[in-house]
Amino acid sequence: MIKGIIFDIDGTLVDSVDLHAQAWQEAFKKFGREVPFEKIRHQIGKGGDQLMPVFFSEDELKSFGEEMEKYRGEIYKRDYLSRVTAFPKVRELFERLRQDKKRTALASSAKKDELEIYKKIARIDDLVEAETSADDAEKSKPHPDIFEAAIGELKGIAPEEIIVIGDTPYDAEAAGKADLRTVGVLCGGFSEEELRAAGCIAIFNDPADLLMRYDDSPLVD
């Protein structure tokens, strides 16, 4: 029986993937690297510690990686965060889960202060029981740290009683390493083939689609 649901946020509950990619692209350009938008976008879902090494060498990151990540965070909050919107029916999905007495947690590579804003945007700040952010993980997705921390917050629930909901292969990979199953959503921009290849056991278009087909989903397994 499923007792707990762990949600990713960016690209799963809120429409922010393109905005993150634009902020990274701007930061990369400032530090001398022109990277196509789509290449960056395909890496969103990882935290900066895993994303930056895709485009910069170890020596470059030792030289200015921390400064670049800080700059990216500053411009994201200044120029992009206010443009984030929630996907339809997110609150209604959380209300349905509460009605079914399923406990919910958030597991995001976002910083804790961003997480607080996202909860308000999605109108779920009064419905989420537990949360973990980049501040709770030594390494970001696709490493399992963030999900292992979330399991710890859902005390009394075993991994086999938990479903992860995420939009990227990195969610599914990280969840699998923590012995969790993942339901994928397509609203973050990754294909069904990519999500299934990473281990997703079911695919839905977005939170609204998951709510509409709730009774036939793995959430009621």
> How confident is the model over 164-191, as pLDDT tens digits?
999 999 999 999 999 999 999 999 999 9
Whether residue 103 contacts residue 3, with contact meaning beta carbons closer than 8 Å, is answered with yes
Q: Calculate the dihedral angle through the C-alpha atoms of 24, 105, 86, 108, rounding to the nearest 10 degrees.
A: 0
Of 37, 56, 83, the position where a domain reaches its end is: 83
Q: Do both 11 and 22 map to the same domain?
A: no
- Tell the residue number behind the tokens 């994303």, with chain if given: 51
Which residues span the domain enclosing 144?
4-15+84-220
User: What does pTM read for this prediction?
Assistant: 0.95
Residues 57 and 106 in one domain: no
Whether 105 and 30 share a structural domain: no
Q: 129 with 175, same domain?
A: yes
Per-residue pLDDT of the chain (221 residues; tens, 9 = 90+): 999 999 999 999 999 999 999 999 999 999 999 999 999 999 999 989 999 999 999 999 999 999 999 999 999 999 999 999 999 999 999 999 999 999 999 998 888 889 999 999 999 999 999 999 888 888 999 999 999 999 999 999 999 999 999 999 999 999 999 999 999 999 999 999 999 999 999 999 999 999 999 999 999 97
Beta strand pairing call for 14-15 and 85-86: antiparallel
